[in-house]
């Protein structure tokens, strides 16, 4: 679970602190990870993730990348691809796609148990 304190700076206004507490980071991380994972072994760039998640704001999506990388769920390897703006963007993969790992029935059961427990 991402600590809400990492979503804001100490000197930010009270409203930022309040907003950080209200964000369901686990839910958003799962949504963003699922999109990245859906690109399979080809990986994706941020523009592609944003296009798939049109209903969410840019900052809501991109803020999840760091936590997903820190948790080892998303991998970048220094490979870049040009985005819509013409600038380079890092390619991302879900770690299971990057390392060619399969999801087992046990993994699915564990995930369901964690969701029910609110982890």
Distance CA 102, CA 117 (A): 24
Distance CA 37, CA 73 (A): 9
Instruction: Centre a 10 Å sphere on the Cβ of residue 74 and count the other Cβ atoms it contains.
Output: 24
Asked whether the CA dihedral 36, 39, 44, 47 is positive or negative, the reply is negative
Q: pLDDT digit string (tens) for 36-90? A: 999 999 999 999 999 999 999 999 999 999 999 999 999 999 999 999 999 999 9
pTM beyond 0.75: no
Distance CA 7, CA 17 (A): 8
Q: What is the pLDDT of residue 22?
A: 56
- The total number of structural domains that make up the chain: 1
Which residue range is the domain that position 47 belongs to? 25-117
Residue 12: inside a domain, yes or no?
no
Residue 14: inside a domain, yes or no?
no
Q: For residue 93, give the CATH number of its domain.
A: 1.10.10.10
- Mean pLDDT over all residues of the chain? 85
Residue 13: inside a domain, yes or no?
no
């Amino acid at each position: 679970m991402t600590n809400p304190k990492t979503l804001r700076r100490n000197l930010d206004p009270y409203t930022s602190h309040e907003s950080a507490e209200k964000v369901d980071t686990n839910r958003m991380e799962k949504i963003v990870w699922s999109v990245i994972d859906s690109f399979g072994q080809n990986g994706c760039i941020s523009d592609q993730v944003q296009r798939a998640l049109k209903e969410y704001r840019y900052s809501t999506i991109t803020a999840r990348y760091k936590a997903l990388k820190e948790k080892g769920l998303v991998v970048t390897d220094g490979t870049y691809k040009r985005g819509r703006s013409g600038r380079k963007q890092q390619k991302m993969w879900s770690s299971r796609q990057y390392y060619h790992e399969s999801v087992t029935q046990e993994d699915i059961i564990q995930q369901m148990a964690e969701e029910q427990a609110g982890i």
